[in-house]
Amino acid sequence: MEMKAVKSRGFLRSAADRSKDGGAKERQARGSGLKALYLKEMADHIGSRRFLIVLVLIGLTSYASLYGAVSNLSDVVASDPDFIFLKLFTISGSTIPSFTTFIALLGPFVGLTLGFDAINSERSEGTLNRLISQPIYRDAVINGKFLAGATIILVMVFSMGLFIAGVGILATGIPPSSEEVGRAFVFLVFTAVYICFWLALSILFSVLCRHAATSAMLGIGLWIFFALFMSLVASILAGVLFPIDGDTVTVGQVLNNYECQMAVNRLSPYYLYSEAVSTIMDPSVRTTNLVLPQQLSGAITGYLSLGQSVLLVWPHMTGLLAATAVIFAASYVGFMRKEVRSR
């Protein structure tokens, strides 16, 4: 009986060891497949003409915004000599918008360009069948495509930030403080998350739509709606729900109308990004909501610290991150359930 017990325990241990070895091999195979697809997508992005066109476009807009900021810097510094380094990102020229304005408008274009044909183009060309037939897991395909696009976005955003910082320091001769460096870093991270949101949205449309042109049009339509028409929709909706026309308009009605407009506008990633960036890059911004005159009574004027500014926009960051995660999860589930065959 003792020998049987010893043998059974040895058999159980060997089975457990085999299961552990099998799990380790499975994780290793999954990781190697994801790495191979990630490197393939990175090489495809870097070697494509599309990426070069986007890179040239972003480079030209960065240079134009920096030129406008430097040309108008002396007038702005004369009225407000603090945080000169941050002004390189937020000052606009006489006819050229600021860098933050450019990124808010053109950032979605970068994300949509990198992902609008991530899945449907390979399905229509028949390459997705050959890709799935390789000894890799199916989820590695969509994970590799998103991670490669996010890496390209991260490198592009921080390269633009370093370019503006370097040229700005050479032009002004004033090094940034640690507070300014921290704010610029938070701004660049938030910018990368903002563009990754549009990357996830474009991948979702690529999974759901059969043709790349359809997914591209859907992404561009949402981009234009959020950037140009969302504020108009918010104003109309607030006017219907909380009208302020008439002779007997109270303060409560005005406040309700404004709060409704803010709530609807904050459903737009463009508005979330613009509001958060203006708070991070301008330390004099002390709130993101409406402040009444009686609330300002006795307040001490001054600048917020970096930590306090981050706390103000933390809901914006978490909301945009959550929206990106939800959209990518939807594209992940849609891709895993979709039948893979050439059409």
310 located within any domain = no
Considering only residues 253 and 135, tell me which one the structure prediction assigns the higher pLDDT: 253
Residue 242 reports pLDDT greater than 70 = yes
Q: Which residue has the higher pLDDT, 164 or 75?
A: 164
* pLDDT at 67 (0 to 100): 82
Percentage of the residues of the chain whose pLDDT score is greater than 70: 81
- Across 223-227, 260-264, 299-303, least confident range: 299-303
- Cα–Cα distance between 313 and 321 in angstroms, integer? 13
d(CA 285, CA 213): 42
**142 found inside a domain:** yes
Q: Quote the pLDDT of residue 11.
A: 47
In a domain, 101, yes or no: yes
Q: Which of 17-26, 146-155, 208-217 has the lowest mean pLDDT?
A: 17-26
CA–CA dist 187, 306 (Å, integer)? 11
Residue 130 located in a structural domain? yes
Asked if the structure places residue 299 within a domain, the reply is no
Q: Between 99 and 341, name the one with better pLDDT.
A: 99
Query: Residue 126: pLDDT above 60?
Result: yes
Give residues with Cβ within 8 angstroms of 315, minimum separation 6: none
In a domain? residue 11? no
> What is the residue range of 223's domain?
36-227+325-337
Pick the more confident residue, 291 or 243.
243
Does residue 135 or residue 23 have the better pLDDT? 135
Backbone angle region of 209, left / alpha / beta, with phi > 0 → left and psi within -120 to 50 → alpha: beta
pLDDT tens digits along 69-91: 877 777 777 777 778 888 888 88
Q: Is residue 64 part of a domain?
A: yes
Contacts of 270 (CB under 8 A, 6+ apart): 104, 108, 226, 227, 230
**pLDDT band at residue 33 under the 50/70/90 scheme:** confident
Asked whether the predicted pLDDT for residue 15 surpasses 60, the reply is: no
Please report the pLDDT score of residue 21 as a whole number. 53
The pTM assigned to this predicted structure is 0.84
Q: How many domains, the chain? A: 1
Q: Classify residue 24: in a domain, yes or no.
A: no
**CA 111/CA 116 separation, integer angstroms:** 8
